Amino acid sequence: MISKCLAIAFLATASMTGTASAQTATNPVDSTASATAHKEGEWRGSKLAGIDVYNEANEKIGDINDVILDRSGKVANVILGVGGVLGLGEHYVAVGFDKLKWVDQPVTSTTASTTSAPANTPATTSAPDGTTRTTTGAATTTTTTTTTSASKRWYPDHAVYNATKDELKAMPEFKY
């Protein structure tokens, strides 16, 4: 995993270095075009590796193993790892970056759970949106707390791809 992150960071640095060396003294750099801070909507490439991929039915079908850039520095494909255990026996497939739907919110669970607590004991439940609710007694008091916003991160929570795990396994394997 660390080597994948280093490889992605190296590719990003190499693509930026090539762009910087192509500039000449006769074409001064516009100070507003230089990136000096993270902008909303930009993601760190190193954080995309490891992101889980789900299908439309909220079933985990794999995870992102790598990001492939073209010569211009644009993302061409994302390499998904499907199946296997701890990276062994994993089937790698290339999927177009634009074929993935990127989601900032955590995956919503399709299962329901019921918790019964003694009459005077507070019951605490957590919602997928990061909200925690505490109920005491006969549902007389409810406290709501919201945790850190997903928009503060430099990467999405997960991706959605319209396929099943079996369909991905049937795709041609990506060879490094």
pLDDT along the chain (176 residues), means of 10: 55 51 50 69 84 94 94 94 83 95 80 49 51 48 41 77 94 94
* 8 Å CB contact between 76 and 69: yes
Chain-centre distance of CA 14, in angstroms?
23
Cα separation of 100 and 72, whole Å?
21
Q: Write out the DSSP string of 138-166.
A: TTTEEEEEE---GGGSSS-SEEE-SS-HH
- Tell me the three state secondary structure of residue 97: helix
What number of CA atoms fall less than 13 Å from residue 33's CA on the CB side? 7
Q: What value, to the nearest 5°, has the Cα angle with vertex 87 and ends 171 and 7?
A: 90
pLDDT for position 69? 94
pLDDT for position 156? 86
pLDDT for position 158? 93
Helix (H) or strand (E) holding 65: strand 60-69
Domain 2-19+44-104+155-170 -> CATH class = mainly beta
pLDDT for position 122? 53
**CB 87: neighbour CB atoms within 10 A?**
10
Tokens representing 149 are 């916003």
